[in-house]
Copies of this chain bind each other. A is one copy, B any other.
Amino acid sequence: MLENDLYLKAHRGEQIPRFPVWVMRQAGRILPEYRALRAKLKGFKELVETPHLAAEVTVQPIDRLDVDAAILFSDILVVPDAMGLKYEMVEQIGPFFTETIRSTQDLKKLDQGMDVKDRLSYVFETIRITQLELRNRVPLIGFAGAPWTIFCYMVEGKGSKTFSEAKKMIYSDPVLAHELLNRITEFTIAYMKEQQNSGVDALQLFDSWAGILGKEQYAEFAIPYVKKIAESFLNFPFTVFSKGAYASMPQLATLPCTALGLDWNMEFDDIRDLVGETKTLQGNLDPCLLYADKKTIEKETKKLLESFKSSRHIVNLGHGVYPDVDFEHVQVFINTVKNYETKFA
């Protein structure tokens, strides 16, 4: 049994004495102990692919920040990597794929019939070690990138503001786009199932590039795949975070998941009207607020908490924490949430 299961209770809509809080990218460069470990390694991928180190990094924010959930330290790009498109993480630049998918012919670059257990064994081993090290203190969240976001990287081959190569394909060859999205979806379901088998307590799907699609395109090229994945994890705590998909919130509100993530541009009131009490909402403090002085952080965090009209909330930032934020500022945010008694208890 977990010592602290607030996060899971919030997913289930159970009564909670206070709102649970964790921070996207809490396992990372904001922590000095992470930077110390990282400095000894060749690169980011070495850390992701070495289970005892990835587990150590996953647990660091629990020890240091005392958050209500741990999230697996990994990368959404392990999926295309395992499917056959290898990537490198270039310092200061980001991910880079030497091969991309731009034509039907290119689909041959992808491996077929690969065994997810084998390909991503390092992730599942990380989960098992992490659970030992967490000693039932808090739940562990597993995750994957949503198919549309993974598709963006597999077609574009690198980060981009517009992902115009990826968007080009949905207009110029929608059949190929759906074929690739289907393959990503199948692999992602198998991957998340195996995360579940390895012991994660919850799952989150990150659709980081949702915002570059219009409502109709998101409805055609993203939501059906997210839905298929969510349907594979019914009755399990499952969060969908579609960054920037404002126009699609009415449709996202009907997904069979237990929680929706909100970015800092989304309004809780509007989304609550859409989901009622059927879902938990997660988010959404502006990550830049953590650059402010501690008093401002406390004030703005309280304002966010006061605005909640339901107990079905998990508090987080509206995006990953920026790596140059002082972790003491992150701590002020976390403590403010933990010291706040909800009026719903």
Chain A interface (Cβ < 8 Å from any Cβ of B): 161-162, 164, 167-168, 170-172, 211, 213-215, 217, 244, 246-247, 264-267, 286-289, 291-293, 296, 318, 322, 324
Contacts and interface: CB of A to CB of B under 8 A. Distances in A.
Contact of A168 (B167, B265, B288): B288
A295 to B, nearest CB: 11
A317 to B, nearest CB: 12
B214 A167 contact: no
Contact of A161 (B161, B246, B265): B161
Nearest to A320: B162
A228 to B, nearest CB: 24
Contacts of A217: 286
B171 A288 contact: yes
A265 B214 contact: yes
Contacts of A244: 211, 244, 265
Nearest to A246: B246
Contacts of A286: 167, 214, 217
B267 A168 contact: no
| For the complex of A and B, 7 pairs with smallest distance between CB atoms | A171-B292, A167-B288, A168-B291, A246-B246, A214-B264, A171-B291, A172-B292
Contact of A164 (B214, B292, B318, B322): B322
A291 B174 CA distance: 12
